């Protein structure tokens, strides 16, 4: 449930150019913060989810210092898998099938998902990708996925309720802390397995909830990305400001569990 092989971010494709976005083509539509949500079912049951999405941009701004996107981000929701699959086949024939997608060719991009038991998690995950790529010209793969996983759960669960917390604690009992420099070598989704996703989440959690120096380093790194500067490797910056970051990460989680 908490592994992302069935959700994906697809950048740089010619997508949704002929997508029927008019309100008449959908059963319901709502605006939630920067998102324009269209669905082939009534959105009345999604009030809580839409509130979360409306809050998501504020959370990213407060936590990471990222500005709101200048354009709205479209969300397309489907009541079942079969309808979703037919839609992808028609409008995104060249994109590999995934349970949820964030697709960007130009502009802020689009999010697509269908109703499933993981629907809310998938939606927050892909909408986080959308907000990141609406604010930044590019994002390192590990950081893109780590942040999406951090924000994919409800706000009350982000600090201590993600299932990755138990997994990273278990891994630290039997193996050395994850190396950020190894994650930075990953350039394609095929290189991101269960362990890499867990480790990416762990580094994001550490930088948000760990030493103030770590969070400051992350915020400054994202600011440099946004400005178009060549920011170098985050692992190098972190090492300069916070010696032995791997040891500090291990201590962070060991203390967190208590």
Question: What is the residue-wise DSSP string for 197-249?
Answer: HHHHHHHHHHHHHS-HHHHHHHHHHHHHHHHT-----HHHHHHHHSSSHHHHH
The count of C-alpha atoms lying within 13 angstroms of the C-alpha of 45, restricted to the half-sphere facing its C-beta, is 9
Tokens at 52, concatenated? 């979360």
CB of 147 closer than 8 Å to CB of 208: no
| 76-135: pLDDT as tens digits | 999 999 999 999 999 889 888 899 999 987 777 899 999 999 999 999 999 999 999 999
The Cα 111–Cα 247 span in angstroms is: 37
User: Model pTM greater than 0.85?
Assistant: yes
For the chain, the domains span: 7-135, 155-256
Sign of dihedral through CA atoms 66, 72, 73, 77?
positive
User: Is the model's pLDDT at 138 over the cut of 60?
Assistant: yes
Give CA separation, 180 vs 38, 60, 129, 184, 225, in Å. 38, 22, 20, 6, 18
CA angle 225, 230, 234 (to 5 degrees): 70
The CATH number for 7-135, chosen from 3.40.30.160, 3.90.550.10, 3.10.290.10, 3.90.950.20, is 3.40.30.160
Strands 35-39 and 28-32, bridge-based pairing: antiparallel
More confident residue, 53 or 229: 53
Share of the chain above pLDDT 70, in %: 89
**Mean per-residue pLDDT of the chain:** 89
The Cα 112–Cα 188 span in angstroms is: 21
The Cα 226–Cα 66 span in angstroms is: 8
User: Is the model's pLDDT at 59 over the cut of 90?
Assistant: yes
CB of 158 closer than 8 Å to CB of 146: no
DSSP class per residue in 24-78: GGSSEEEEETTEEEEESS--GGGHHHHHHHHHHHHHHHHHH-PPPPSS-EEEEEE
The Cα 218–Cα 163 span in angstroms is: 23
CB of 128 closer than 8 Å to CB of 147: yes
């Amino acid at each position: 449930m908490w592994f992302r092989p069935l959700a994906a971010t697809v950048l740089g494709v010619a997508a949704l150019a002929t997508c029927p976005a008019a309100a008449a083509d959908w059963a319901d539509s709502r605006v939630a913060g920067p998102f324009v949500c269209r669905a082939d079912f009534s959105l009345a049951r999604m009030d809580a989810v839409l509130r979360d999405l409306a809050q998501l941009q504020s959370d990213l701004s407060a936590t990471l210092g990222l500005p709101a996107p200048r354009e709205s981000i479209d969300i397309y929701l489907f009541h079942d898998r079969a309808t979703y699959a037919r839609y992808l086949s028609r409008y995104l024939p060249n994109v590999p099938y995934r349970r949820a997608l964030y697709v960007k060719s130009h502009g802020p991009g689009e999010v697509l998902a269908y109703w499933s038991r993981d629907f809310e998690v998938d939606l927050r995950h892909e909408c986080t990708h959308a907000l990141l790529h609406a604010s930044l010209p590019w994002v390192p793969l590990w950081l893109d996925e780590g942040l999406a996983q951090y924000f994919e759960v409800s706000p009350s669960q982000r600090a201590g309720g993600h299932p990755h917390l138990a997994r990273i604690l278990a891994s630290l009992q039997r193996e050395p802390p994850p190396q950020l420099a190894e994650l930075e070598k990953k350039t394609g989704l095929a290189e991101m397995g269960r362990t890499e996703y867990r480790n990416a989440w762990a580094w994001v959690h550490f930088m948000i909830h760990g030493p103030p120096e770590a969070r400051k380093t992350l915020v400054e790194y994202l600011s440099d990305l946004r400005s178009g500067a060549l920011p170098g490797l985050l692992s190098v910056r972190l090492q300069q400001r916070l010696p032995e970051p791997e040891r500090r990460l291990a201590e962070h989680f060991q203390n967190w569990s208590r």
